[in-house]
Each structure stands twice: as structure tokens, then as C-alpha cells.
Amino acid sequence: MSRIFSGIQPSGELHIGNYLGAVKNWVQLQHTHDGALFCVVDYHAITGNYDPAVLRARRWEMAKSLFAAGIDPTRAHVFLQSDVPEHTELSWIFTTLTPLGDLERQTQFKDKSSKVESIPAGLLMYPVLQSADILLYRADAVPVGEDQIQHLELARDTARKWNARFGEGYFPEPKPLLTPTRRILGLDGQSKMSKSLGNTVGLLETDDEIWAKLRPAVTDPQRVRKTDAGRPDVCNVYQLHKAFSDTETQANVVQQCTTAGWGCMDCKKVLLGNIVEELTPIRHRAAMLDAEPARILDALADGGRAARAIAQETMREVRERMGLDAVHPPRA
Ligand code: AQP
């Protein structure tokens, strides 16, 4: 059976893009794959300027949100990346195998580095650490959103290179597991929903907060008046219906939109109802966890222990195969 690993940055709140693209899939996969590993990748969240107090709070909130979303610590291991130092050790080893050009070609690097004056090397090295995150557990299936496909190609290249030099077949070549909602746009309808772009709907937001964001959300730009027929295929609100509404409602949305039966506001109100229906139980579970923080602490401690056990064994084998194990005098 394949081993599942995936990670999420505590660089902001868990949003519906993360949820639909990845975390909802994690919740399902934990039932078919024992011991799946889900990591709050805090080392990835320090590549830019940050406030340590804010990071501390976000790590906690991210772990809580994952449990609230339905990750069950008796089925899956949830842990903090910085609780397992072997991530950074394997990352250095992979750095030595990675061509600079491959890193400079990564779309996410080009995108993020174009927005800063001085580019931190951590931004460039991000996919190397990500390869280490995955391969440390010798995971072969990685449930992620579409934006991570290119990084996983690099992880596969790295696994092949290391295997060719040090141990054929040792590291599996990890494959992405995508959901039908592999790329959710922000409510601006322009760019990927992203913590750093401030265009998100948080998983734990109240109904009023969600509506305040959904009400002005961009729809089909050509639909100016209610009497204009809309084009669901170019409308981000329809894409969100596909994620949150049942097939009957989706068909009705198409019918009402293309015949100018509903205005965009009517369509958004139906969507709001369906988002609220899906997110309310998650919010309730988060409130219960707020009242019992020890459950989060215990789950993270257990997850960290389980992750370290696998990571330490991998590093023992990696060091041995690379000539980095216990030193001894030369044999005569
Ligand atoms: N908009 C999205 N649609 C579908 N999937 C998404 N993911 C992120 N945004 C979308 C998936 O969520 C998982 C965790 O992502 P991450 O936090 O580790 O990194 P990210 O992709 O960089 O997410 P953000 O929100 O855009 O964070 P920032 O702004 O900090 O970079 C991944 O599986 C990702 O594919």
C-alpha cells in the first residue's frame, strides 16, 4: 500500500483553496491509508520576513484547523516539521544533487521572487526541502493542489538521481494525488486563492465574514445587468458551486444563469448556504478543540514521535549508503 505524505505551510489561516485542493482529500485518504503523515511545514514558512510570535500562533491554528477539518490523530500522524530535524539534514543532501537551473525554472520561485527586492536563497531551495519532506518518509503518494505538480516532478528527479548513485530502488518516485478541485481561484477571480495574496475564505470564518467576501466576488465580467445571460464556465462563483453544491444545484445554477433567471446575487446566496453547511461542523469542532488544547498538544506529540521514528531510520540508511555512517580506521 502506498504511503501518503503531505504538508501545509502555517503562513496564514487554512482556506477553502487548501481545503478543496488538498486537505479534504487528506481526510478521505486517512481511511484507506493507515499511518498517513500530514506535516505543518513551519520551516517553509520562514523563507520571508516573519514575526516569531505570529508564526507560533499560526502553527497552533493550522494544527487545530487540520483536526477540525477531520484529520483523526488515531488514524493519521499530524506533526510539526521543526519537531523532526532530519527534514533539514536530508534537504542538504538533496541540495548537493540538484542543478541550480532546475530550481530557477520553478514557476512558484519565479512568481514569488519577482515580488521581492532581495531574493532569499530559502525561496529558491524550497522545493529541495519539500523533496526531503516527502522522501524522508519514503512516501509515494502526495495529495496536493495543482500548483505543486512541478515541485513533485523535481522530487521524482531527485529520488532517481540519489537512487542511481547510492541505492537503486531505495526512494520511491512520489506521485501527486489531485482532487477534482485542483485549483481554486481567489474571490478576485484572477489569481490562485493564496494565503499571501489575501484573497481567501478561511475555513473557520463566520457566516457573516464569508458573505462579506462572497457578496463582492467577481463573476462573469460580461454579465453587467441581471437580464444579461451569464457564462458559468468563466464564472468563479460557478466553479465554487462545483465544489460545494450538489449536482442538481449545479445544473440549476447553469440553467438560471444562462437564461438570466437568477441575478449573480441570487446565485451567491445559494452558494453561501452550501458553503456554510459544509463549514459549520468544522467550525464547531474547532470550538471544541479551543476548549481542550491538551488534545492538540497530545496529538502533535504522538505525531512527532511517529514521524521521528520513520525519519531516523531513513537517515540511518541514507548515511550508511552515502559513507556518512560511523567512522572506523581503514581496513588493512
Ligand atoms: N488555490 C488553491 N487551490 C487548490 N489547492 C491549493 N493549495 C493551496 N492553494 C490552493 C494546496 O494546499 C496545500 C497546502 O498549500 P501550502 O500552504 O503549503 O502552500 P501554497 O500552495 O503556497 O498555499 P498558499 O495558500 O498559496 O500559501 P502561500 O500564500 O503562503 O504561498 C498544497 O497541496 C497546495 O497545492
Give the whole-angstrom CA distance, residue 44 versus residue 90: 15
pLDDT at 304: 98
Tell how far the Cα of 25 is from the centroid of ligand 1, in angstroms.
14
Beta-ladder partners of 143: 177
Cβ(321) – ligand 1 distance below 6 Å:
no
Beta-ladder partners of 57: none
pLDDT band at 295 (very low <50, low <70, confident <90, very high): very high
Mean pLDDT of 156-170: 97
3-state secondary structure of 25: helix
**Mutation pick for ligand 1 pocket among 9, 40, 110 (CB with most ligand atoms within 8 Å):** 9
Give the whole-angstrom CA distance, residue 285 versus residue 67: 8
Which H or E run includes 38? strand 37-40
Longest dimension (CA), the chain: 90
φ, ψ (nearest 5 deg) of residue 205: -75, 155
Cβ(194) – ligand 1 distance below 6 Å:
yes
Q: Name every residue whose Cβ is closer than 8 Å to that of residue 232 and which is 6 or more positions away in sequence.
A: 220, 238, 253, 254, 257, 258
pLDDT band at 196 (very low <50, low <70, confident <90, very high): confident
What digits encode the pLDDT tens for the residues 36-53? 999 999 999 999 999 999
Cβ(315) – ligand 1 distance below 6 Å:
no
Question: Domain limits of the chain?
Answer: 5-184+293-322, 204-287
pLDDT at 34 over 90: yes
pLDDT at 330: 87
pLDDT at 129: 98
Q: Share the mean pLDDT of the chain.
A: 96
Burial of 252 (0-12, 13-18, 19+ CB in 10 A): middle
Burial of 39 (0-12, 13-18, 19+ CB in 10 A): buried
Give the whole-angstrom CA distance, residue 145 versus residue 152: 11
Give the whole-angstrom CA distance, residue 44 versus residue 33: 26
pLDDT at 229 over 90: no
pLDDT at 197: 86
Percent of the chain exceeding pLDDT 90 equals: 92
pLDDT at 195: 85
pLDDT band at 331 (very low <50, low <70, confident <90, very high): confident
pLDDT at 230: 87
Q: What CATH architecture applies to the domain 5-184+293-322? A: 3-Layer(aba) Sandwich (3.40)
User: Cβ distance 152 to 141 under 8 Å?
Assistant: no
Burial of 265 (0-12, 13-18, 19+ CB in 10 A): exposed
pLDDT band at 76 (very low <50, low <70, confident <90, very high): very high
Burial of 322 (0-12, 13-18, 19+ CB in 10 A): middle
Residues serving a catalytic function are: 112, 192, 195
pLDDT at 27: 98
Give the whole-angstrom CA distance, residue 136 versus residue 170: 11
pLDDT band at 329 (very low <50, low <70, confident <90, very high): very high
Mean pLDDT of 273-283: 98
Cβ(147) – ligand 1 distance below 6 Å:
yes
pLDDT at 198: 84
What digits encode the pLDDT tens for the residues 90-139? 999 999 999 999 999 999 999 999 999 999 999 999 999 999 999 999 99
CATH topology of domain 204-287: Tyrosyl-Transfer RNA Synthetase (1.10.240)
Tell how far the Cα of 17 is from the centroid of ligand 1, in angstroms.
7
pLDDT at 287: 98
Cβ(178) – ligand 1 distance below 6 Å:
no
